[in-house]
Structure 1
Amino acid sequence: MSEWACGCCGRWRVSVELIRGRYCYRLVHRYPERFGGGKNVLGEVSSVGELARLLRRRTPLDLADLREAG
């Protein structure tokens, strides 16, 4: 599974999974440990264009703000 995180704080993450022969992009917001941790799935889409629209709609980010998570 590949994963990208935002360059500013790392709390916004996009993972890519292969499910039944199709790629699924999942947008997740992670909470800091001091607030109990955890994550909130904001959406799942099947194309990069839809991912760009989801990012604009649900986050202050764009595709260019994402970096590969290490």
Structure 2
Amino acid sequence: MRLVCCCCGRYQVTVELVRGRHRYRLTHRYPARFGGGKNVLGEVGTVVELEELLRRRTPLGLADLREAA
């Protein structure tokens, strides 16, 4: 599953199942005009930790994310 921010789509949260546990990885994508690429901002194991990570590293909250098509 992949979630992206509603405002610009540059912040992404991917959810992966690793050894029976969910891992939430927050990344920031750079626009192509700046060379593209991704920067991993953090990886956490719970939704509560994800909310705190979003608050610390981005101007977003959980309500600002939507599922990517």
- TM range, normalised to the smaller chain? over 0.9
Aligned to 2:33: 34
**Corresponding letter in the other structure for 1:17:** E
Deviant stretches of 4+, over 3 Å = none
CA RMSD of aligned residues (A): 0.4
Task: Indicate the percent of aligned positions where both proteins have the same amino acid.
Answer: 71
* TM alignment of 1:7-22, pairs within 5 A: 7-22=6-21
Number of residues paired by the alignment? 69
Distance in 1, matches of 2:5 and 2:60, equals: 8
Q: Partner letter of residue 41 of structure 1?
A: V
Question: TM (normalized to structure 2)?
Answer: 0.99
User: Any stretches of 5+ residues in structure 2 without a counterpart?
Assistant: none
Instruction: State how 1:1-70 maps to structure 2 within 5 Å.
Output: 2-70=1-69
